[in-house]
Amino acid sequence: MESSSLQAQINSLITFLSSHCSSGKGLGTTSSAIYDTAWLSMIQKLPNSGHFLFPQCFTYILRHQLPSGGWTSYATPIDGILNTAAALLALKRHSLHVFPSPQPTTQHEPELKNWPLQHRIEKGSTALQSMLSTWDVSSTDQVGFELLVTRLLSLLEDSGVTGLSSFPGSSTLRALHDAKLAKLPANYVYTARSTLYHSLEALWGYIDFDKVGHLKEENGSMLASPASTAAYLMGLGEKGMWDEQAEEYLKGVVDRERFEGEGDGGQKGDGGVPCAWPTETFEVTWVVTTLVEAGVEFGEREGRAIRGYLEEGWGRQGGLFSFFPGGLVDADDTARAIMALRHLGTKVGVESLIRAFEAKDHFKTYEGERNPSISANCNVLTCLLMMDDPTVYAQQIVKTAKFLCEQVHTDSVREKWHINELYWMMLLSQSFATLFDSMSANPSLEASIFQLAPELQEQIPMTSLHVLTKVLGSQGLDGSWANGIAEVTAYGILTLSWLSHLPWIQQLGRMHGVNFISASIETGKAFLEAHKQDWKKGQYLWIEKVTYASPVLCEAYCLAAAAVPLPDFTGSTVDADGQVVQSTKESLFVSEGLLKGVLKAGQLISLTPLFRTLAPQLLRVAEMQACYALGFLQRKRKELGIFLATGGDEKYMTFIPLTWTASNALRVQATGGHSHSGGLSNYVLQEMMILSMLNYQVDEYMETAVERDFLGFYSGSRGSFEAVREVVGQVFEEFEPSGRRRSIWGDADHTPTNLKEIRATLSRYVRHILLHPAVRGAPASVQARLAKEVQTFLLAHVQHAADNIQFAASNQLNIAPREEETGLPSPISEPFDASSPPPSKRRRLSSSASLKTQEQPKIFSPADSRTFYSWVRTTSADHTSCPFSFTFYTCLLSHSHPYNSNKTDNLFNKDAKTSYVAEAMVRSLASLCRMYNDYGSIARDAGEGNLNSVNFAEFHTASSGGAKRGKEGALEGSDGNGEEEKKVKEELMWIAEYERRGMERAMRELQGLVGTGEMEKVKLFVDVTDLYGQIYVVRDIGVGVKRG
């Protein structure tokens, strides 16, 4: 859009707002609601007279009934339930009287125009029953729904509508209803204004309405709610009483001025009323702050009018604000009003905000709220940072920032004022950007913040990068967000603009040359430019009792997104004229050395089939996330202290974070970033990173301390294996309800010292897993399953060690002089002598025969009856840690689920078929992963004497060609050119892909059992596990190409 045209539209909106601020008339552009309109349609000034006060409201209800019999769900299931229940109640009330006039023409010709009223009622009842049957009560959080729905259903049943009392979520609804009422003292409603006054219709039949009139607003309303005010009048009317001021308020709402773009497309006087009116403070402050923060300047006259309006409100309520003048104050509107005043030149403070709304670990929106609001806390944080010296409020800033990070980290966000997560992400990005801009300009603020909460130096980057992944991953190919909604697209643009202020995100732009954030903003702006006709078409995005639209807010956000300057990542942000807007603080960048190592890992990952489709910008963000996660992981390793650092090569520490962040980005891309389905919370990601790290370390520990040093020292004697197996069993005895330690050393613990050390180490490892809060919160059956699987994993390590030792012995890889084997102590008969040479040294002495003097037959002959199939499905699969890690993962998902209250939604606690299919899937995954690993490790395993899949006899039948062995004990042609090795590897890959097909079939079945959202999280685990196998294959291919 040309700058002159854009400025003209901005000026028009500002003039509109300022004129209303000067006029003294109520302002509200929000859309009409069936729900509130239905309540107005039931008002009779004389009870049972059949003369309704607002017949045009009933006409509106009739005109909007759907062919299904119900009324529309604007954006959420509860919208349809409330609209339909209230409208149905209105039909029942009107059916008691002679219909006053012919029924109006409807919007749904010709289905409805000739429907008799009774037929409308029957169709409406059926539609409501259907809505209730599919309603997920536990995921609903709109204003007062637990009281509203319960009371409406009760009133409908009283009026003769049956079949509404029993539906799947009825018990949950009743529990929420009772809990809400239990918090209210008996006379609470009569003594003080509260948010309850916005929903008095929910108390119909419970309270005396003639005792609440003294608490109505100056404009005659009950907290600016048409429905609540209607219920108040109806309650008075039943007692032969009336309130003329309340009637005048409702007449004003019905006859209010209508605006272009209102969601229902209604006209003045059509009978429709909104769910709240007026809403002028809310709409004015949101528009002012949104435009100013995008760089828009207000003219002196318009700014003076709006400033005067807000200054009057400041004085009226002692520095606190509601969404309309004189209403019940809240933190959200107060913070925005303070910000607007300061933007317009009036330097008010935040002491009133802090006094009224500061809580223990966050800011409450209003007294008595059930769940905190993330958007309100974002606005509070930004407001605090606007003060002349925000260091004074460092405690409150830290408190709010930590709350915001924790909400996102644990996926606990339940935004109560908006249905699209890009809204709160935009506000969160703004508050973080404002924080770092303020710290850049005020070093004392930075020192104060990070002294109080040093963890924020890691948490804020991780949180902001999580948001960046979601925003980039949910943008459509046409540049829009939310499938072409202009208002949400504006949120996306503004979110990216704010994020570009952050140092680590600016570093992303510098490192990679291609400014993908700017490119994303540009495509978003291009979409808005092509859809200017939608800028005033408010969408049903905002939450009240039902969702509503605001054309004024829609236009303001679109204008701000069009006006905001493009970021530049050469070290500063510049506006369209090239003027520097914001400089970057270099000290907040990720170290180049750390980033370089992660980038190399990213290059390898990008070569795998799994990640070839991942958008490059999402991989770049995942790499930056992995840098911060790596620091977290290294710190956690020291804190946990389960395994001692070996000082060896630990490249896996670089790969672990990236495999999880990159796989998360892949899921976000696959789902379009939708909330609670696209990707995981940082909490789950980090806990799985820790487990992955510990699994690498326990692998190393079992291969060194157990297999090499202990079992190797005793040459794999039968007694040594039994001793280690017993130690593993002892580790799990504390988790058995009635376990008694039985030892081959007797009742007194005479366990050799080296075995005690093994037991202590493995106990620390097992306790971390089985005593994890997410596991302790899981059903007992799942805890028992996990304990058994972890034990099976450790025993698989022992069995794998036995197989390796048998394999090596049968191939004469581990032959030492006979005299070195004589006189070795038994681990059972003699305790470990601490004065003896360290086990590792003794092991090297006894295995000093050179590999070059040996020849290695390639076939493994198990001592038992195991075939390759049974081995790869049992010992080999268990040895990968995949099965128990998946069970642990399901505990994390259940534990972190924001709507989970009873902790029974674990995959392994649903039903038999879900548990069976999930286990079948993960077993195939584990076998697949092991075979991919072996495919890429044939040469290495041959050199180290490790058992590999291809060492089983099935790969060396006559039809397989009987591959020859080489002088190093490897398959001939291990450099990638041997035909025999090629054929063996082809067979191994065929079997692996056979397992993949089985796994994919199980995944399809599982999705049908648990749903798409839950399955996306399962797929993420599969992706991570599969990725490791694919990395082995890619590295093997790369080595072959290099040698060729």
What does the pLDDT look like over 599-651, one tens digit per residue?
999 999 999 999 999 999 999 999 999 999 999 999 999 999 999 876 655 77
Cis peptide before 278 (omega within 30 of 0): yes
What residues contact residue 206 under an 8 Å CB cut-off, 6+ apart? none
DSSP string over 875-902 = HHHHHTSHHHHHHHHHHHHHHH-TT-SS
Whole-number pLDDT of residue 850: 35
In this structure, whether the domain defined by 597-1043 belongs to CATH 1.10.600.10 is answered with: yes
Phi-psi region of 823 (alpha: psi -120 to 50; beta: other; left: phi over 0): left
Under-70 pLDDT residues of the chain:
1-2, 98-114, 186, 260-267, 512-514, 571-587, 646-649, 673-677, 712-713, 715-716, 737-752, 812-857, 896-904, 958-978, 1036-1044
CA distance 584 to 504: 10
Strand partners, 938: none
| Residue corresponding to tokens 């770092």 | 436
How many Cβ atoms are within 10 Å of 866's Cβ, its own excluded? Answer: 19
CATH architecture of 280-589: Alpha/alpha barrel (1.50)
The alpha-carbon radius of gyration of the chain (Å, integer) is 34
Cis peptide before 883 (omega within 30 of 0): no
CA distances from 464 to 28, 367, 387, 497, 622 (A): 34, 30, 23, 12, 12
* Cβ atoms of 967 and 855 closer than 8 Å: yes
H helices of 103-187, in order, are 117-133, 145-158, 170-182
CATH number for the domain formed by residue range(s) 34-254: 1.50.10.160
Q: Looking at this protein, which amino acid is placed at residue 852? A: K
Domain pair 280-589 / 597-1043, same fold: no
**Residue 815's pLDDT is what?**
39
pLDDT of residue 967: 46
How far apart CA 149 and CA 156 sit, in angstroms, is 10
Q: Which two tokens stand for residue 460?
A: 């804020």
How far apart CA 971 and CA 676 sit, in angstroms, is: 49
- CB 503 within 8 Å of CB 436: yes
- CA dist 92 and 86 (Å) reads 10
d(CA 528, CA 534): 8
Work out the number of other CB atoms within 10 angstroms of the CB of residue 4.
7
CA trace torsion 432, 433, 434, 439 (10° rounding): 90
Q: Which residue has the tokens 């039985």?
A: 742
Instruction: Say how far apart CA 680 and CA 660 lie, in whole Å.
Output: 10
CA distances from 378 to 10, 347, 384, 434, 604 (A): 25, 20, 10, 11, 38
Look at residue 15 in the predicted model and tell me its pLDDT. 94
Residues with Cβ < 8 Å from 438, sequence gap 6 or more? 385, 390, 445
The ranges assigned to domains in the chain are: 34-254, 280-589, 597-1043
